[in-house]
């Protein structure tokens, strides 16, 4: 694309804020980064200046290291003024991790959707030393590689409570279409789905800012995963509906503050890319499933690259997301293989198309 093209995605701030430091990306809006111990090694958090204190957007994992960075941020860039409110975009640990800590240690009010709050509180209680029967069953249905399944069956699984601080009772609910005041601006609350249920995005009514969480990421695609919590879910369909729903509101000069990677402009272009990427993946999957395969055997058409051990879990839940979508759309049949995996296959088209 040519320079100056309005359909281009641009990154006005390419210098990433260093640990414990902040970049002012708009008046009264600070961008900060916290480390994550994963392939995706950081999460963006923001602080909105309310005059008497701050509204913080998302929090990072609950680790000693993240708390220490927050202490440094509060004493430094946040000028020692209190974090009065924490708005959590969705219930994933990299976003909600320290919300409870801000509530109990810093007397902050938690603001999020009812869904995100209930999910967080529910998952915090779901602690296990070994995977539950439901998890093993879900992984078998997904066609998890037998060696990985064997390994996982005998080790401590991912536990939400390992990286999310305990959350005391009480939160303030935000809902679709509401106006939310923070950082000297009025924001329209718009909820998305697919990556996490009822994911909050905030659209400024006073300037071009959009706070996006993981709903509107640049350069990487949000994981659209199915979990044992709801094995028949269709996050891909919900994601596509959300992208289509956001399009009429999106403008090229919106300045989007995402949960990961760099702030950017060019939102309509990005939304069309996100929609096209999944339609492309679904088209390749249809071709692949002319012959029966488990979700675990659908990585090549979906991801077009080899999947390392560190990404296997995310790839598997996303593969289930894509087969579930085609199944819900009535395009696939499924049969059980002897080992308990669903084998998915395209229905034969009646008119020979
Ligand atoms: Zn995230």
Ligand 1 geometric centre to CA of 188 (Å): 21
Burial of 24 (0-12, 13-18, 19+ CB in 10 A): middle
CA of 236 to the centre of ligand 1 (A): 17
| Rg of the chain over all Cα atoms, to the nearest angstrom | 21
Q: How far is the CA of 347 from the centre of ligand 1 (A)?
A: 36
What's the whole-number average pLDDT of the chain?
Answer: 95
CA atoms within 13 A on the CB side of 253: 3
CA of 160 to the centre of ligand 1 (A): 14
Confidence of residue 4 (pLDDT cuts 50, 70, 90): very low
How far, in Å, are 60, 67, 80, 82, 100 from residue 72 at the CA level?
A: 14, 9, 10, 13, 19
CA of 331 relative to ligand 1 center, distance in Å: 31
C-alpha 216 – ligand 1 centre gap (Å):
11
* pLDDT tens readout for residues 95-150: 999 999 999 999 999 999 999 999 999 999 999 999 999 999 999 999 999 999 99
CA of 218 to the centre of ligand 1 (A): 12
Task: Please report the sign of the dihedral spanned by the C-alpha atoms of residue 129, residue 133, residue 135, residue 139.
Answer: positive
CA of residue 32 to ligand 1 center, whole Å: 14
Distance between Cα 222 and ligand 1 center (Å): 8
The Å distance, Cα 342 to ligand 1 centre, comes to: 29
Query: Running DSSP on this structure, what letter comes out for residue 10?
Result: B
Q: How far is the CA of 350 from the centre of ligand 1 (A)?
A: 42
Distance (Å) from CA 36 to ligand 1 centroid: 10
φ/ψ of residue 58, rounded to 5: 65, 165
Question: Hey, is 296 helix, strand or coil?
Answer: helix
* SS3 at position 137: helix
pLDDT by residue (tens digit) across 216-269?
999 999 999 999 999 999 999 999 999 999 999 999 999 999 999 999 999 999
Centroid of ligand 1 to alpha carbon of 259 (angstroms): 6
For residue 290, the CA-to-ligand 1 centroid distance in Å is: 34
Report CA(225)–ligand 1 centroid distance (Å): 13
Asked if residues 137 and 100 have their Cβ atoms less than 8 Å apart, the reply is no
For residue 339, the CA-to-ligand 1 centroid distance in Å is 33
* Cα of 324 from ligand 1 centre, angstroms: 23
Q: Hey, what are 178's tokens?
A: 């509401």
- C-alpha to C-alpha distance for 212 and 91, rounded to whole angstroms: 14
Query: Which pLDDT tens digit goes with each residue over 163-196?
Result: 999 999 999 999 999 999 999 999 999 999 999 9
Q: pTM for the whole thing? A: 0.94
pLDDT for the residue numbered 349: 65
- Within 13 Å of residue 164, how many CA atoms lie on the same side as its CB? 27
């Amino acid at each position: 694309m040519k320079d100056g093209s309005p359909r281009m995605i641009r990154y006005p701030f390419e210098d990433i804020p260093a640990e414990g430091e902040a970049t002012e990306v708009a008046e009264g809006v600070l961008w900060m980064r916290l480390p994550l111990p994963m392939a995706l090694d950081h999460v963006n958090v923001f602080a909105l200046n309310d005059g008497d204190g701050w509204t913080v957007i998302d929090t990072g994992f609950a680790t000693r290291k993240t708390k220490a960075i927050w202490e440094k941020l509060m004493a430094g860039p946040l000028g020692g003024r209190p974090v009065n409110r924490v708005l959590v975009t969705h219930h994933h640990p990299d976003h909600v991790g320290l919300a409870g800590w801000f509530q109990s240690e810093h007397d902050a009010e938690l603001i999020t959707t009812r869904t995100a709050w209930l999910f967080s509180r529910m998952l915090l209680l779901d602690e296990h030393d070994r995977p539950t029967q439901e998890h093993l069953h879900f992984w078998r249905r997904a066609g998890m590689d037998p060696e990985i399944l064997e390994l996982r069956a005998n080790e401590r699984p991912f536990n939400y409570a390992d990286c999310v601080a305990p959350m005391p009772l009480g939160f303030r609910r935000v809902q679709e279409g509401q106006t939310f005041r923070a950082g000297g601006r009025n924001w329209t609350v718009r909820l998305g789905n697919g990556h996490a249920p009822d994911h909050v995005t905030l659209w400024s009514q006073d300037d071009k800012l959009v706070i996006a969480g993981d709903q509107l990421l640049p350069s990487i695609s949000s994981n659209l995963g199915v979990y044992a919590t709801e094995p028949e879910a269709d996050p891909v369909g919900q994601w596509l509906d959300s992208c289509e729903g956001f399009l009429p509101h999106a403008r090229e000069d919106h300045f989007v503050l995402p949960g990961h990677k760099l702030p950017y402009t060019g939102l309509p272009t990005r939304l069309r890319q996100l929609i096209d990427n999944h339609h492309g993946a679904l088209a390749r999957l249809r071709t692949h499933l002319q012959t029966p395969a488990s979700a675990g055997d659908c990585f090549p058409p979906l991801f077009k690259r080899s999947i390392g051990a560190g990404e296997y879990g995310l790839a598997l839940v996303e593969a289930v997301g894509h087969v579930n979508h085609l199944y819900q759309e009535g395009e696939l049949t499924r049969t059980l293989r002897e080992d308990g995996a669903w084998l998915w296959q395209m229905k034969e088209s009646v008119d020979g198309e």
